[in-house]
Structure 1
Amino acid sequence: MTADRPRRLLILVASPRRNGNSALLADAALRGAHAAGLDASLHFADDLMQTFLRDCRDCRDEHGRCRIDDGYADFFLDRFLEADGLVLSTPVYWYGMSAQAKAFFDRMFCYVARSYPQSQRVRERIQGKRVGLLTASEEMYPTIGLSIVNQVQEYARYTHSQFVGAVHGQGDRRGSVREDRHGAMAAAEALGRQFFERPHADYQVDSVR
């Protein structure tokens, strides 16, 4: 990030429902980010991806570029790599993240793999971002989204990024996350507003304290 521009935050809705609970949580995070003066934008994974990861050995063209032409490359290379943070909003499907959310991470491989001509630049730019998570489900027991939290935490660890917070919203019908008794909408808005100010500490046994 340079000193002359606001920090850029991408909010990605990985749900097929445009007006579902995941989208409402994402909207709340966007409101909070805008209130904090961030350069924040909301996107739907279905607009960026029409297929899953393929075998790069067969898919790349003669210049080493991915042949999948569905908008993912432009978003990943021009928006995601240049962003300072990402908030992923996903429903809990079969006790894990949605297929759209998983595909977003899987498709990164095309550009991280050494067979991609600019992989070194991608590896450098993919690191050091802040990452947040929003999840929505019908069930409300405390660990319902734990597997997703763990997966995003491991992504953050692998990319030397900072996982700064997760919010879970409960709703058993479309839009009912607004009625979440634990205040999920307010928590999502606070995550967006405080995204780059929240303290992050991930100590190891030999960390200097």
Structure 2
Amino acid sequence: MSRSFLLLLASSRPDGNTELLARAAAGHLPPGTEQRWVRLAERPLPDFSDVRHADGPRAAPVGEEADLLDATLAATDVVIASPLYWYTLSAEAKRYLYHRSGWLRLPGRDFKAAMAGRTLWGVTAMAGDAGTAGPLVGALHHTAAYMGMRFGGVLLGNGTRPGDVLADTGALERAGTFFAREAPLARFPQAADASAG
């Protein structure tokens, strides 16, 4: 089966270290692999409203949200490229995940079943020790587990000023094989369950 990558750039500025690292990794995908890049800051989603307990079905998304839903459903692999902001995902990445929780309740879409078996990946640049990215990694892993997806892990790189990550030779070496790795099915620790919202 051919793979189709949706690469979500979740930084507030273009051409940052996270984006550079994501593009380095994607540059090693096999020729002809479909890649769709979406810069979330340039295609802002509306504020998310949790309507789980409201009467009636959730309204179908329109505009940017509808396009992003269709792009997500069309992808075999979803990559969230988010800088490490206060030890976790950026606001843009979180907003995307919030809307995914709303898509679970769209009549006739069966979003959770559609995403099961596909792969979620993460890419992040940060300053300092890799251990500080634990909450970000956990959020993506648990998102994959809840959805029945595979989790390819998070490609970590170091850099604060623009372009710094290109000097992180270890990160660039890992980028060369990152998307070629086998992604296991994500599972919650001790088979615990969690709600996506």
Larger Rg: 1
The one of 154, 170, 177 aligned to 1:190: 177
Q: Aligned-residue CA RMSD in angstroms? A: 2.7
Matched letter for residue 146 of structure 2 = Y
Indicate the percent of aligned positions where both proteins have the same amino acid: 26
**Per-residue CA shift, 1:33-66, capped at 9, x if unaligned?**
2x35421222111233243312447x99x98424
In the TM superposition, residue 95 of structure 1 has moved relative to its aligned partner by 1.0
Provide the residue aligned with 2:136 in structure 1. Answer: 148
Matched letter for residue 140 of structure 1 = G
Equivalent residues, number: 189
The one of 67, 79, 83 aligned to 2:75: 83
Matched letter for residue 10 of structure 1 = L
Matched letter for residue 65 of structure 1 = A
Q: Please give the TM-score of this superposition, normalised by the length of structure 2.
A: 0.83
Q: Which stretches of structure 1, 4 residues or longer, exceed 6 Å deviation after superposition?
A: 201-205
Pair 70,189 (structure 1): closer, same or farther in 2 beyond 3 Å: farther
| Uncovered stretches (5+) of structure 2, i.e. residues with no partner | 191-197
In the TM superposition, residue 70 of structure 1 has moved relative to its aligned partner by 4.3
SS in 1 for 2:74: coil
Provide the residue aligned with 1:101 in structure 2. Answer: 93
Pair 7,79 (structure 1): closer, same or farther in 2 beyond 3 Å: same
Following the alignment from structure 1 to structure 2, what is the Cα–Cα distance between the partners of residues 91 and 186?
A: 19
Q: Please give the TM-score of this superposition, normalised by the length of structure 1.
A: 0.79
Pair 142,123 (structure 1): closer, same or farther in 2 beyond 3 Å: closer
| Uncovered stretches (5+) of structure 1, i.e. residues with no partner | none
